[in-house]
Amino acid sequence: MQDDLAFRPARVLAQLVADKQISSVELTQHYIDRIQRFDEELNAVVVRTFERALADARAADEAIASGAALGPLHGVPMTIKESYVMQDTPSTWGLPAFKDNVADQDGLAVQRFRKAGAVFLGKTNVPVDLADFQSYNDIYGTTSNPWNTDHVPGGSSGGSAAAMAAGLSGLEAGSDIGGSIRTPAAFCGVFGHKPTWGIVPQQGHELFPGVPESDLSVCGPLARDAADLAVGLDVMAGPAERAGVGWKLDLPRARFTDLRGLRVAVWPSDELAPASAEMAGRVSDTADFLAAAGAVVSDTARPDFDARQGHMIYQSLLTAVMSSSQPIDKVPLMQARAAEFDLQDSSQEAVAARAAVMMHRDWIRHNFRRERMRLAWDAFFNEWDMLICPQFTVPAIQHDHRPMSERTINVDGVERPYMEPIFWAGLAIASYLPSTVFPTGLSSSGLPIGLQAVTGPYRDHDSIEFARLVSELNGGFAPPPGF
Structural domain span for residue 362: 307-377
**Structural domain contains residue 280:** no
317, 230: one domain:
no
Q: Of residues 83, 144, 156, 160, which has the active-site annotation?
A: 156
Q: What per-residue string of b and e applies to 88-107 under the rule 16 or more CB within 10 Å gives b?
A: ebbbbbbbeebeeeebeebb
Instruction: Taking residues 428-450, report their average pLDDT.
Output: 98
Judge whether 325 counts as a catalytic residue. no
Confidence category of residue 2, pLDDT binned at 50, 70, 90? low
Q: What is the pLDDT of residues 77-92, one digit of tens each?
A: 999 999 999 999 999 9
pLDDT for 188 equals: 98
pTM: 0.94
Confidence category of residue 299, pLDDT binned at 50, 70, 90? very high
311, 250: one domain:
no
311, 243: one domain:
no
Domain boundary residue among 332, 348, 377? 377
Q: Of residues 24, 144, 160, 180, which has the active-site annotation?
A: 180
Judge whether 156 counts as a catalytic residue. yes
pLDDT for 17 equals: 98
Domain boundary residue among 346, 377, 408? 377
Q: What is the pLDDT of residues 300-313, one digit of tens each?
A: 999 999 999 999 99
104, 185: one domain:
yes
**Cα–Cα distance measured from residue 291 to residue 299, given in angstroms and rounded to the nearest whole number:** 12
Domain boundary residue among 226, 259, 292? 259
**Structural domain contains residue 247:** yes
Q: Residues 205, 107: contact at Cβ < 8 Å?
A: yes
Q: Of residues 81, 157, 217, 435, which has the active-site annotation?
A: 81
Q: Residues 54, 90: contact at Cβ < 8 Å?
A: no
pLDDT for 104 equals: 96
**Structural domain contains residue 383:** no
Count of the separate structural domains present in the chain: 2
**Structural domain contains residue 216:** yes
At 173, which amino acid appears? A
252, 311: one domain:
no
Confidence category of residue 42, pLDDT binned at 50, 70, 90? very high
230, 327: one domain:
no
Domain CATH code at residue 186:
3.90.1300.10
**Cα–Cα distance measured from residue 125 to residue 128, given in angstroms and rounded to the nearest whole number:** 10
40, 125: one domain:
yes
